[in-house]
Amino acid sequence: MFGLGPSELIIIAVIVLLIFGAKRLPEIGKGLGGAIKEFKNIKKDLNVEEGKAGKDAPAKKDPATIEARVSEKVVSQVPGVKKALEVKNKIDQVKKIVR
């Protein structure tokens, strides 16, 4: 697994435990598992859509669709990201006005 031995994995686990604490580790694991599951679902959906398009017409690979879907899921599931995007949009508007 990436050339890491058992001793390196134990050291990484201890560092993560010290940084995040024992109470946060289950939340982090649940979040990572949900993200992996969502990526697999999106990949599966894109493969199905490409299969349908391949039968009727040549399949067009659109990398923006997977990026848009993932960003939409992240924004909908993580409230801090939504707030950060709102702030970024306001800053962009101010920059346009200043120029």
- φ, ψ of residue 12 to 5 degrees: the values are -65, -40
The pTM of the whole model exceeds 0.85 = no
Confidence band (pLDDT; 50, 70, 90) for 1? very low
> How far, in Å, CA of 74 to CA of 64, rounded?
15
Q: What are 21-47's pLDDT values in tens digits? A: 888 888 888 888 888 888 888 888 877
Confidence band (pLDDT; 50, 70, 90) for 79? low
The 3-state DSSP class for residue 43 equals: helix
